[in-house]
Amino acid sequence: MKVIIVGGVAGGATTAARLRRLDENAEIIVFERGKYISFANCGLPYFIGDVITKKENLLVQTPKSFKERFNIDVRIMQEVIKIDRENKKVKIKNLKSQEEYEENYDKLVLSPGAEPINPFKNIQTNQIHTLRTVDDSVKIKEYIKNKHPENITIIGGGYIGIEMAENISKQQNTKITIIEKASHLIGPIDEDISVIVEKKLKEKGINVILKNGVKDIKQENERLNIILENGKILTDFIILCIGVKPEAKLAKESNLKTNEKGSIIVNQYMQTSDSNIYALGDCVQVTNYVTKKEAYIPLAGPANRQARVVANNICGKNGSYKGTIGSSILKIFDYTLGITGINEQTCKNNKLEYQTIIISPYSHATYYPGATSITIKAIYESQTGKILGAQVWGKEGVDKITDILATAIKMKMTAYDLSELELCYAPPFSSAKSPVNILGNAIENEIEGLVENITWQEVKKLPNPYILDVRTKAEYELSHIDGVQHIELDTIRENLDKIDKSQEIYVHCHTGLRSYIACRILKQNGFKVYNITGGYSFYKMSKI
């Protein structure tokens, strides 16, 4: 059996290695048009930021190491330019010699990845860059080091844009601006969580411009004039992080089926419309595991899992790819943002019956030094409590909690399952009732009618809400919302006559736990009450 793989990095290289482990006798050829067969593209911003100091540390494999370990023929700087499906051949161009030649195949694997979106290719300047390859990162790093630009503008406020802003700001005495056309940063999260991210960036001196797209870029002497939909700014250097699009030109020219956005359409076995041709990674259309709808989710983790499916099926080991959840994590200075499943907008677009809840537990037992607050926003099915998505923000423990919730989504678990999870506990690491258990309990309480929750966003839309603060006197005096009524939780029973029973009451404490207790007391005394989820800590974080 002869297998040709187009493209290396996460998808192609992983497929090749798995194929060899399954079949020692297969002839495997990997064609990569770049210089590197396998590199850590997720590490590129950290190389620019000098967290990773050596370029060589980004190189996972080389053609020589691949040959020695796996007996795989890797041909770099060689591009597959045509597929002859009828005769099962590909045409290759050697980018060094410009020579063209053909190779036949039994099975063909397409893993060309995605390319950065760049609407400004017509502008000839070394002051505008995209980030995809190791060479791209070297060019950006060298320009900043040698030219010392006073102003750097990042167009696009997604994962890469945020990572670039952090890494550049740590090592350069420069003004950084992020421009994002959408209403908030990081599309997969909800606006109320994105506001916290925006606030953190501003605290670090990064300017953020939202709801303002870029219409044009013009050279103005030695600077660049960015023409916005509303206004303009001058800058010295631009990094385009607008997003990526599937690189499916070869597939389209071979009449393989693609969707309207250009992604290659594959079945659950990762086969294209030609059963002898497979495709995977950032170039393919996937199924969103939660909504069961078609989606485009370009992430390294799914590409690696798809590679295993491809190799298994080529070697006769039946396997299928069941969809992508979209789990991801992002370092933002001394904080971490974890994302898994779907957000509120996706729920609305798919007309799903959902509820949200925000809790603010601590990372570990508070009596052990160093405990920090974690914000967890969960999205769940209204009737069943099935977890649909989550966004987690904090200094420590975010990765652990996000991974547990990603597993919960994959296994179609409900809030009741979260409540029953038996997770590791010792004071330095968690609490006897972990944040995930607390989340499950909180959702259970709402489903069972013990409490009605409301978010700060919803409260802010009310004309004149009656807000009750049940924190301690010291907490209230330190900081509070103007115009709210304050009664400490422990004195609430003896002060029921001071609360207006004719009104709907919106109760908050610091994190949401004491306000839940207050709601139970008040509800059983005939009051109409709502618990404001996330508490005052979330109010302060999300208020810019």
Catalytic residue set: 42
25's tokens:
């006798």
42's tokens:
């997720």
Nearest CA-CA partner of 196 in 428, 541, 429, 500: 541
Place of tokens 């989504």: 409
* Spatial contact of 398 and 430, defined as CB atoms under 8 Å apart: no
Residue 311, C-beta contacts closer than 8 angstroms, at least 6 positions apart: 15, 18, 19, 22
451's tokens:
């409490």
17's tokens:
């290695």
Q: How far apart are CA 533 and CA 459, in angstroms?
A: 11
Q: Does residue 61 sit in helix, strand or coil?
A: strand
Q: How far apart are CA 241 and CA 191, in angstroms?
A: 20
Nearest CA-CA partner of 26 in 109, 112, 107: 107
- The full 3-state SS of 207-222, as one line of letters, equals EEECCCCEEEEEEECC
Q: Does residue 505 sit in helix, strand or coil?
A: strand
* Spatial contact of 499 and 477, defined as CB atoms under 8 Å apart: no
* Spatial contact of 265 and 285, defined as CB atoms under 8 Å apart: yes
Beta bridge partners of 466: 505
Q: How far apart are CA 123 and CA 126, in angstroms?
A: 9
* Spatial contact of 313 and 270, defined as CB atoms under 8 Å apart: yes
Beta bridge partners of 393: 337, 375
Q: How far apart are CA 155 and CA 207, in angstroms?
A: 12
Question: Quick one: CA dihedral 244, 343, 542, 417, positive or negative?
Answer: negative
Q: What angle do CA 146, 150, 151 make, to 5 degrees?
A: 115
The one-character DSSP state at 388 is E
